[in-house]
Amino acid sequence: MSRCATVSRNLDEPVSGTAATATTWLLLEQPGPWGAKALTSSHLDPALGRALEAAAAGTGVRVALIRRPGRHADPGTPPVRNVYAAHTVPGRVWLHSATTRDPQRLLDLDLAALGAGDHRSFGTALGGRPHTGDPLALVCTNGKRDRCCALLGRPLAAELAASGVHGVWEVTHLGGHRFSPTVLVLPYGYAYGRAEAHTVKEALHGIQEGHVVLAGCRGCSAWERPGQAAELAVRSAADEYRTGVLTVVRTNGSAPHWEVYVEHADGRRWQVTVAQRASLPPRPESCGATVLGAPARMDVTAVRELRPTALAS
């Protein structure tokens, strides 16, 4: 039977505007096996997983588990766990790290504040500090969620780690199984689909140099999906690849049609027309799907730079 990622690739389904949405990512190290819903079906205390899910609801924070690439036989409870928090909204991007012996301490975090970009509770509750290492590359490898993530994601994570790339972690879920291998690069929150080792390395090097690699880019998680597609379209139209200079300032309309306004740090602004369309022919949206679907795609139909006199409208 064809895998969902193979079908999506063969149909040349576009990846733009398909990234998971989160203003802030909260990542907790949890070695060992993961179930389909890893926060409550791993060796993390399921009561803690449920409490974190409930606390994060509506805050803009997405909680995920991470582990080092490699074999995942049960190593027992780790004495010390790595924890990361990353805020992805341009102009206020940050990545902080901490370690903890007691993951229950995450319940002391102010997730609403974290989602809004305030990292103070991360420092107070966990002793977190600004991350001084390399950017993070999170590779989705949760085969219990979708087999493509394991079959395609795990070899990618292993290859990156073996080649000396720092900051590589396996992660529980990034959405869009059919675009496997999927990768999220932090702190800026750009997601990539159908990723290969060389493209991930280019994306990480780009972030270190202050620019965004557009090849295979699904969008920035800070924006909803129409905004993701609009920002990438403006980058292409304006030949602008620097990080942190474009912001989605307004989105008018609702599915299947939006007018998205994207502003540059230098004051330029664009109006981007985005149409939601069905991806045809129907295809499996995941390997476990029993019914074929026509997933929504975000098609940019127009990019128009606005005159200064139109900016106040």
Q: Which pLDDT does position 76 carry in this prediction?
A: 65
Are the CB atoms for 219 and 229 separated by under 8 Å? yes
Could you count the other beta carbons within 10 Å of the beta carbon of residue 249? 12
Q: CA 306, CA 298: separation in Å to the nearest integer? A: 22
User: pLDDT band at 200, cuts 50/70/90?
Assistant: very high
Burial of 206 (0-12, 13-18, 19+ CB in 10 A): buried
- Edge-to-edge strand list for the sheet holding 269-278: 246-254, 257-264, 269-278, 296-305
Mean pLDDT of the residues in the chain? 91
Average pLDDT estimate for 8-14? 81
Predicted structure pTM score: 0.93
Classify burial at 300, counting beta carbons within 10 Å of its beta carbon; exposed 0-12, middle 13-18, buried 19 or more: buried
The answer to whether residue 312 scores a pLDDT higher than 60 is: no
Q: What is the mean pLDDT of residues 148-162?
A: 89
The CA distance from 209 to 221, in Å, is: 20
From 47, 49, 196, 25, select the one nearest 114 (Cα to Cα).
Answer: 25
Residues facing residue 42 across a β-bridge:
34
Say if residue 275 is exposed, middle or buried (CB neighbours under 10 Å; 0-12, 13-18, 19+). Answer: middle
For residue 305, the cross-strand partners are: 270
pLDDT of amino acid 1: 43
First and final CA of the chain: distance in angstroms?
A: 53
CA distance linking residue 173 with residue 288, whole number of Å: 15
Instruction: Assess whether pLDDT exceeds 70 at residue 56.
Output: yes
Asked which of 119-123, 174-178, 192-196, 260-264 is least confident by mean pLDDT, the reply is: 174-178
Q: What is the pLDDT of residues 238-291, one digit of tens each?
A: 999 999 999 999 999 999 999 999 999 999 999 999 999 998 888 777 777 778
Residue 186 confidence (pLDDT): 98
pLDDT value of position 180: 82
Type of residue numbered 210: G
pLDDT of residue 75: 63
Of residues 198 and 10, more confidently modeled: 198
Three-state DSSP at 142 gives: coil
